[in-house]
Structure 1
Amino acid sequence: MVAVGAFLLTLAALLPLYVYDRVALLPAAAEFDVRMVDEGAWYLNTSTWSWTEASALTRVTRVDASAHGGDWSAWEMSVDTSVPERMIDHWSRRVIVDRETGRAVNCCGEHVDGDHAVRQAGLVFFWPPGAGEGDRSFYDAELRAAPAMEFQGEEEVAGVPVRRYTQTIETTQVPDSARPVPAGLFRPEASGTVTATRWIEVDRTFWVEPVSGIVVNVHETRSETLRPQNDSGEAPLLHTELAMVDQQVSAYAEQARVRSLLLRSLDSWAPWTLAPLGALAVLAGLVRSRRATSAAGREESRVPGDTGVPGEHGRVTP
């Protein structure tokens, strides 16, 4: 009983102090995608250079993660924005992710669309498990910056308690986005081409299950324009209000529910159950051992062959 109790007490200490930290790490290897859709988007059709309404616009972020040492993971990411007729935008990214914090690590061939001079920072996608309510920097690869994700409050998504964070990016020029476009986009009477840069304005919202750090839902409103480098004016390039598809929201919510239950068990429920049981087992073992020792002592104090009945082994002298 003492050995069983000692094992339970040791296990109660190891679960939150060691096992939890290892289980809570982001997976070293994984493949997943985040699919967002808008059925009323507008975009600049570059085949006709006309402002066109899309029956459906889809933005898919694909991640292929592999182990990179014991505590890091290498993410190969691609982002495709398309309408039913064509692909309208594509870029890729490689980032090394710290599996404990979920933050980017400057290392090992990182790049954004082939630009190896970038230094990525902030969260990549997941939040750290068990993180507090404070704001978090979140890296926007297109802008090469990590504006803050601001905590807005607690809500519920698909039956799962979540925290809502928002990131607002004012109209900002996208680095290395200069390209030739028809001058008529900015002045109807103009001919030829001009060099224009891309500008974006983004409002995005993440709903995060706090115990696991899993992102359950994402919404994003995005407006993009083109502006000539050496002139005034602008032309619309894209306007969309994207939302994660319902099937993914349900799937991520269930994944977060299960993982949250596991982490809560390791961090609090199991230790608080095992520790009292272990203490009781040790106490019971010590009590039984003491009783056994006392009984053995009484047996040894008796005369060999003496049954304890007076006069049984001889005549009692009056």
Structure 2
Amino acid sequence: MSADEAGRGFLPRGTVIAAIGAFLVTLAAMLPFYVHERVALLPAEARFDATMVADGAGYMDTSTWTWVSGVRIVRTTSVGSQAHGPDWSAWEVSVDTVAEGAMIDHWSRRVIVDRHTGRAVNCCGEHVNGDRAVRQAGLVFSWPPGAGETDHPFYDAEVRSAPLMEFQGMDEIAGLTVRRYTQAIAATQVPESAREVPAWLFTPGAEGTVTATRWLQVMRTHWVEPISGTVVNTHEARLETLRPQNAPGEVRLLHAELGLRENQIAARAEQARVRSLTLSAMDVWAPWTLGPVGGLLLVAGGALAWIGRPRGADPSEPDGPEPGDPEVPTDPPFTGGERVPTA
């Protein structure tokens, strides 16, 4: 670069290339350690439904206390969430169970979810069916992105506990490799479920009513895309019964094999595919591409700057006369008159 170019404010050769290289190296470092963590967070605000269907199920019609079999039962979980601070989300959940158009069960829940871990946080008006004394724990619905092949506590709001979801192995759903987890809940009494029922349900010919409680037994399976933590599919084998207090006996309330609808499985699989590709790009592909490219550009920019650096004067050409050189005569200064010849 010449002195004139420097005076006009031109950048040294290779500066732009080196700057681009530095930017790419910085971006490669930020993507996995800063950007990935924030993109992997569960959404602060969302609204979705999970609809599970069981064909050939059976339930107790409590208006007549008769068993109805061979029906379709639909269980819909509706979730609406909103931001609750920078790292939490407040979920309002309602669950409706319908048999042939008739509502047979309903309950609701409020839970605060840690967006990093997907687990419940004890805070801010949490409740299950109005019971604010509950202390919810464990996963609420989604798995944390990148969770290992380990067991996870998963909260069941009906029995107010969080038995482990145990890792069982790998499967494939809609072209995705997913992890299969199962949760076995042995027959457990549902809190605050006591009610008066006809005594003859447990003792034929008996009169009057007895107090009975609802008991729940569940085998739950979730298929989870591991990179994104998205639940692609879910299945529940449910058996609900009534048992009298302080007496033997049991009658069935519900027996169903519930599975997620096919269109929802396809939609969740596509969502998991897109999200896992995005997270993988930020965590692996982009850093391992941008980092080396940025490094090469830094080297290239430095090389161009070295080649184009300002040069000093050539030492083989002296700047002035050396001592002992003959003096070179010079003309006298011109004063405007006639030049007078010198002797």
Q: TM-score range with shorter-chain normalisation?
A: over 0.9
The residue aligned with 2:183 is 167
Check if 1:18 corresponds to 2:27: no
Match of 1:185 among 201, 208, 212: 201
1:149-180 C-alpha deviation (Å, 9 max, x unpaired):
00000111111110000000111111111000
Match of 2:308 among 292, 311, 315: 292
Aligned to 1:62: 78
Q: TM-score, normalised by structure 2?
A: 0.86
Cα 1:48–1:304, aligned 2, differ >3 Å: closer, same or farther?
A: farther
Q: Which amino acid aligns with 2:275?
A: R
Amino acid at match of 2:171: E
State which drifts further: 105-114 or 179-188. Answer: 179-188
Q: Is the 8 A contact 1:16 1:268 kept in 2?
A: yes
Asked if the contact 1:54/1:83 (under 8 Å) is kept, the reply is: no
Identity of aligned residues (%): 63
Contact 2:55 2:72 in 1 (8 A): yes
Change (3 A) 1:71 1:251: same
Note if contact 2:225-2:232 (Cα within 8 Å) is conserved in structure 1: yes
Q: Find the counterpart in structure 2 of residue 3 from structure 1.
A: 19
Find the counterpart in structure 1 of residue 242 from structure 2: 226
TM-aligned CA deviation for residue 302 of structure 1: 7.0
Q: Please report how far the alpha carbon of residue 298 of structure 1 lies from its aligned counterpart in structure 2 after TM superposition.
A: 6.2
**What residue number does 1:153 align with?**
169
Alpha-carbon distance between aligned partners in 2 of 1:173 and 1:302, rounded to the nearest angstrom: 101
Query: What is the CA–CA distance in structure 2 between the aligned matches of 1:237 and 1:34, rounded to whole Å?
Result: 23
Aligned partners of 1:43 and 1:54 also within 8 Å: no
* 2-structure distance, mates of 1:179, 1:286: 81
- Match in the other structure for 2:220: 204
Whether the 8 Å CA contact 2:18–2:302 is kept in 1: the answer is yes
- Give yes or no for the alignment of 1:277 onto 2:293: yes
Provide the secondary structure at the position in 2 that maps to 1:297. coil
Pick aligned residue for 1:120 from 130, 136, 144: 136
Matches within 5 A, 1:84-123: 84-123=100-139
Retained in 2: the 8 A contact 1:64–1:75?
A: yes
In structure 2, do the counterparts of structure 1 residues 12 and 234 end up closer, same or farther at CA, with 3 Å as the change threshold? same
Q: Which aligned runs of 4 or more in structure 1 are off by greater than 4 angstroms?
A: 298-305
Specify the code of the residue in structure 2 equivalent to 1:132: G
* CA displacement 1:72-111 (0-9 Å, x = unmatched): 0000000100012310000000000000000000000000
Structure 1 segments unaligned to the other structure (5+ residues): 306-318
Q: Equivalent residue of 2:94, what SS?
A: strand
Structure 1 equivalent of residue 275 of structure 2: 259
Q: 139-148 or 53-62: which moved more?
A: 53-62
CA-atom RMSD in angstroms: 1.3
Larger radius of gyration: 2
TM-score w.r.t. structure 1 length? 0.93
Counterpart of 2:63 in structure 1 is: 47
1:243 to 235, 256, 259: 259
CA distance in 2, matches of 1:186, 1:52: 18
Counterpart amino acid of residue 23 in structure 2: F
Amino acid at match of 2:284: S
Range 109-118 or range 84-93, more displaced: 84-93
- 8 A Cα contact 2:140 2:154, kept in partner: yes
8 Å contact 2:159–2:190 — kept in the other structure?
A: yes
Q: 1:183 to 1:304 in 2, by over 3 A?
A: farther
The one-letter code of the counterpart of 1:85 is G
Instruction: Please tell me the residue identity of whatever aligns with 2:311.
Output: G
Mark the CA change 1:24 to 1:302 in structure 2 (over 3 Å): closer, same or farther. Answer: farther
SS of the counterpart of 2:132? coil
In 2, Cα distance between equivalents of 1:196 and 1:103: 33
Deviation, structure 1 residue 303: 4.5
